Amino acid sequence: MKIGVVAESTPGETRVAATPATVAKLIDLGYDVAVESGAGEKASFLDEGYAEAGATVASADEVWGRDIVLKINAPTSEEIGRLADGSYLISMLAPGLNPDLVDELAAKPITVLAMDAVPRISRAQSLDVLSSMANIAGYRAVVEAAHTFGRFFTGQVTAAGKVPPATVLVAGAGVAGLAAIGAASSLGAVVRAMDPRPEVADQVKSIGGEFIEVDVESEMGSDGYAKETTDEYNRRAAEIYSEQAAEVDIIITTALIPGKPAPRLVTAADVASMKPGSVIVDMAAAQGGNVEGSKPGEVVVTDNDVTIIGYTDLAGRLPTVASQLYGTNVVNLMKLLTPEKDGQVVLDLEDVVQRGMTVVREGENLWPPPPVSVSAAPTKPMPAVKEKEPVVEKQPMTQERRFTLIGIGVLALFLINAYAPDPLPQHFTVLVLAVIIGYYVIGNVHHALHTPLMSVTNAISGIIVVGAVLQVVGDDPATRILSFVAILLASINIFGGFAVTRRMLSMFSKG
């Protein structure tokens, strides 16, 4: 089958649905790819790059007439008319918000897949365009805020004075929110975040943010997105937003509910309470806005000098990386649709991922799809936790028992010295004293440069060397030989221990 990559007609759009790198992967799947001339210029992808990747650079009419058309934005009525009967259209459509567009597409015998309708399940993450674009948009929102803000993000202590760090509030800790938190934290700002899902608190903290929890229960939908919150939650959250608006320097809002207008989080009164020079980036401006007074695609400056940025093309402001990520998502979809890698699309509506993305099939309106649970696997009951047996702590030796044992040892030494034949008493006395001295010598070896085991073995070896040195000068040849062997082996153990220690220390020393 033949794939066509068209140029975007939406004013201000800079992205393209495929890059030279992703075109090469589509060709590897068996497809014949043509790219409309100039389609990637705004994203810094020239026609020559596509030609080198194996694609054909063609006119708009030829590309629109292909079996599969790849696009970023939803098509216009004129563009729908250019699609060939029986063809496939793959693009972002927002079908939940554009029912008239879905009906217009269904009036033509084509099949349409929405890249922004990927079910939020783990095995579909590689196709999730919304996450890819949200990640870029969250980062870019911080860049736009930093460009407009009149101070450093990080704190500064200079000879001219001290500059405090900027304080940023991120509303919503989804993909876009986490990207914004990470970017603002890396710039040195003090970052706070709010989200109706308490389970994201650890993610916020792990990238340097402070999670502000609304002490009212909220739920996450079975599709993986946040649900509409309760009135009680909204009331308490509104109070917190009002408190934070008066304190922070920058607010970035990311709250969206799929298929519904954006929830209103920051009121006009909240904006009026912010300090002059503060900045708000409303990432939900295209869906109605989280901030009262924001305008889609525009920058509004209020009477109290607060700048409200309502750009709807944040991802498109980084067109090169945005096009690459979108193109990769498309390639992953085509891999799913081309199981034999023979350049032939096989649409399997039994697959929840393909079914969730299919808006129209051969002129039949299939929207909305059946609901999909976040986890397709059945939940397994947790195994019963075995109760741990109580650990019986070893009782320390009592003072009475210690003195009793010492008394028994002294009595045994006295009886041996009183009744044993010579020279046994003298040798036994030396043995007892050697054990006592050796115990305290070994027990007091410091472990600063050794492992405890190596320290103890070196101490024992040292005692052996001392004892063998005293015996090696004796008259008995057997004793002298055994003493020499003992000195040799103990010395090898000692010097080997220091050699191992040196190698261990060198592993941790900086080159």
For residue 20, whether the previous peptide bond is cis, meaning omega lies within 30 degrees of 0, is: no
Domain assignment present for residue 144? The answer is: yes
Domain assignment present for residue 382? The answer is: no
> Length of the chain in residues, anyone?
511
Active site residues: 120, 125, 128, 131, 225
Domain end, chosen from 317, 348, 374, is at: 317
* Nearest C-alpha neighbor of 64 from the set 2, 120, 11: 2
Cα(314)–Cα(334) distance, rounded to whole angstroms?
A: 26
Residues whose CB falls within 8 Å of the CB of residue 223, separated by 6 or more in sequence, listed in order:
119, 120, 258, 371, 372, 373, 374
CB distance 156 to 320 below 8 Å: no
pLDDT at residue 384, as a whole number: 52
Domain tally for the chain? 3
Q: Are residues 182 and 79 in the same domain?
A: no
pTM given for the model? 0.70
Q: Are residues 99 and 163 in the same domain?
A: no
Q: Are residues 150 and 273 in the same domain?
A: yes
Three-class DSSP category at 56: strand
Domain assignment present for residue 391? The answer is: no
220 φ/ψ angles, rounded to the nearest 5 degrees: -105, 140
Q: Are residues 10 and 43 in the same domain?
A: yes
pLDDT at residue 96, as a whole number: 87
Q: Are residues 345 and 428 in the same domain?
A: no
Tokens for 45, please give them. 């992808």
**10-residue mean pLDDT series, the chain (511 residues):** 97 96 97 98 97 97 97 96 97 92 96 95 93 96 96 89 94 95 96 92 94 75 58 91 97 86 93 97 94 96 97 96 98 97 96 96 95 54 54 69 83 80 75 72 60 68 81 82 88 82 68 50
Domain assignment present for residue 386? The answer is: no
Q: Are residues 223 and 82 in the same domain?
A: no
Q: Are residues 345 and 468 in the same domain?
A: no
Domain assignment present for residue 129? The answer is: no
Amino acid at 338: T
Residues whose CB falls within 8 Å of the CB of residue 336, separated by 6 or more in sequence, listed in order:
127, 351, 353, 354
pLDDT at residue 377, as a whole number: 42
Q: Are residues 139 and 113 in the same domain?
A: no
Domain assignment present for residue 393? The answer is: no
Please name the residue ranges forming H helices in 287-351.
319-337
CATH number of the domain that 57 lies in? 3.40.50.720
Q: Are residues 54 and 91 in the same domain?
A: yes
Domain assignment present for residue 387? The answer is: no
CA angle 462, 464, 467 (to 5 degrees): 110
Three-class DSSP category at 65: coil
Q: Are residues 113 and 152 in the same domain?
A: no
Domain with 461, as residue range(s), is 399-508
Q: Are residues 421 and 471 in the same domain?
A: yes
